[in-house]
Amino acid sequence: MKYTNLPHTDIEVSKICLGTMTWGRQNLEEEGHQQMDYALEQGINFFDTAELYPIPATKERYADTERIIGNWFKKKRNRDKVILASKIAGKAEMTKFIRTTGINRESIKSAVEGSLNRLQTDYLDLYQLHWPDRTTNYFGKRGYKHSISDHWEDNIHQILETLRDLVREGKIRHVGISNETPWGAMRYLEESKVHASLPRMITIQNPYSLLNRLFEVGLAEICHRENLGLLAYSPLGFGTLSGKYLGDRKPENSRIALFPNYNRYSSDTAVKATQKYFELAQANDLSLAQMALAFVNSRPFLTSNIIGATTMDQLKENIGSIDVELSEEVLKGIEAIHNEIPNPAP
């Protein structure tokens, strides 16, 4: 395994992070425990979860993923072996069964307490805002369009004050953002610069893959100049970049087969790009999944690459990508495809 530091800290994390959002929906608790056992054996010490998981979110299964992880900690007594990240869900139609008030002082405190109880731990190493309350371009929106119905009031100072208090109480160690825009990232960073007592956002968890490199447009420069670390999610585009859906295939129990509305990475253009990446991988004796993950692993703005798997074979292949070094020929081939079909899956 290879390791990096969470920015602005001495906390060493594996460059591959174990994602957990299928546990409790596509994976049973026992399977989640098996994945954590194997990941830890392979040197992965960084796990990412959220109060919202498993996905798709439902009232009946709400926060089951955190409970699965908490039961594993209780059984293994190894909380000190893991750098643990979780998230508070923002205001949205799909989260109204959790809360309707959005992210504020009361909801943050309540969410943290809930996560700590379910995870059976006294602290979280990294606590993230899952997405902004304001209306902006996240979750598949290519560009920003102002909405007259967006009545968001800037409460970023209050959010940071609340997170600061939780840091002082020892309940969280560091904070991050997720599904954020360049404006949002800089707004948080500047607020903590102006008010030195407020915690600094150290990571941003956004989508990044061969099919979606929009992160490079504005956020990559912020990562470089502000030392903000990317935690890349969906590096395989809901499994699309494994190649298993090519030829109109829909394997039984696969994510797209079970949840056809999760079509963010399945447009005709995205399929065309995936086919080209598949052919490039085949021509260089690589699996498409490992080439796609190795590309993400190689990015200079990456802190950790969040992988997810529903089978142990998938997990082993994904973790194995850390040992794959892409040649200049492959990297040039990737850029040629990207220039021809840029960002087909925002």
CB environment 54-90: b (16+ within 10 A), e (fewer): bbebeeeebbbbbbbbbbbbeeeeebeebbbbbbbbb
CA distance 14 to 1: 7
Q: How far apart are the first and last CA of the chain?
A: 30
Q: Check if 3 is active-site.
A: no
**Residues paired with residue 124 on neighbouring β-strands, in sequence order:** 172
Inter-residue contact 66 to 51 (CB < 8 Å): yes
Instruction: Provide the residue count of the chain.
Output: 346
CA distance 226 to 209: 22
Which position among 3, 53, 123, 233 bears the catalytic label? Answer: 53
Inter-residue contact 326 to 294 (CB < 8 Å): yes
CA distance 52 to 36: 19
CA distance 7 to 231: 11
CA distance 318 to 306: 10
Inter-residue contact 211 to 273 (CB < 8 Å): yes
Residues marked as catalytic: 53
